[in-house]
Structure 1
């Protein structure tokens, strides 16, 4: 399988789930700073993905998969891990989908595009930071009682949450008001699969 990714982007979550599930992904880097976005050989990325953003997963068979929630679920379903590890990735399928959707719609889309494109202005950025703070309040309260989003087992939703929430300090959001969230991110960062994914993803 091939993953189209960009360093620092949400595609990190996909690579984490692949590492956790012992699935090999060939990586194809996309330069998202160019317009249009380009692959390393100069190919226009829109010829691969007309929506123009990462991640994109090319399975060994079938059509390309886009959208993080779909890709994360697909990989977790195909984990080559042990039954125990597979359960860890897909514990409580519907609660997992609930968390994945929350992260995608309430957290990810509060960061991007508002905090990644200065042309939207400081007023838009301030509104985005306020929304993110509210979402972080919710996450922090939950994580005071749970090691991971679904309890005591790591899930694909945790990989996605980690990939997004770690943007905060670089976008002017200090995590000091949310100690449980900060500790959660540190726990995830220490997982061997995450260390390996970060090394590959950049």
Structure 2
């Protein structure tokens, strides 16, 4: 499989899942501005959407949308138990978190990367992001991970998005339980592997 990614973007979550599952993969870096790829190609030829992640399967099919990709990968190797089984309430809870992170956190953070956005508009998105993150604090005060005591792809997605806060002058330490969560996830070998491999492309 080939994972089309940009370093430390949301595509890092599928990267973490691939590493955690021990599945073989090839990384192809995408320049998010020019859409040129590290193999010399044009990313639009891979995904007309133009944004990462994209996963090319061994049969040539292309999957897009991070929450879909990570669940597809988890189901390739169910014995690894990285995601709850389909049909269980735990799986639905994980999907609930993936959706929340994607729409409320990622959706609020994305505009903050836009250099042309007026400062007053950015402040609106920043306040929304802070508010939405605050909703997670009491959850992680009670348990180590979003769906209980075990790491799932929802935790990987949250970890990646929280990693962007430093670019917006938001200190994660204002949420002690979330700060502990970040430290906990950062120690997972698959997370460290993904970070190192992506840093090697810089």
TM-score by length of 1: 0.92
| Structure 1 stretches lacking a partner, 5+ long | none
Distance 1:25 1:123 in 2: 42
SS at 1:40 equivalent: coil
Distance 2:74 2:56 in 1: 15
Corresponding position of 1:127: 124
SS at 1:32 equivalent: coil
- Alignment equivalent of 1:47, drawn from 39, 45, 51: 45
Residues 53-76 of structure 1 show CA distances to partners (whole Å, capped at 9, x for unaligned) of: 000001112520000111011011
User: Contact 1:90/1:156 (CA < 8 Å) preserved in 2?
Assistant: no
- Alignment equivalent of 2:55, drawn from 29, 54, 57: 57
TM-score by length of 2: 0.92
1:149 matches 2:146 = yes
Distance 1:141 1:128 in 2: 22
| Structure 2 stretches lacking a partner, 5+ long | none
SS at 2:24 equivalent: coil
Corresponding position of 1:2: 2
User: Contact 1:18/1:79 (CA < 8 Å) preserved in 2?
Assistant: no
Residues 86-136 of structure 1 show CA distances to partners (whole Å, capped at 9, x for unaligned) of: 1x4336211111111011111111101x11112011112111111111111
Distance 1:27 1:152 in 2: 30
Distance 1:9 1:33 in 2: 13
SS at 1:120 equivalent: coil
Corresponding position of 2:103: 105
Count residues in correspondence. Answer: 195
User: Contact 1:16/1:159 (CA < 8 Å) preserved in 2?
Assistant: yes
SS at 2:173 equivalent: coil
Shift of 1:78: 1.0
1:186 matches 2:193 = no
Corresponding position of 1:198: 195
Distance 2:60 2:143 in 1: 38
1:176 matches 2:173 = yes
SS at 2:83 equivalent: helix
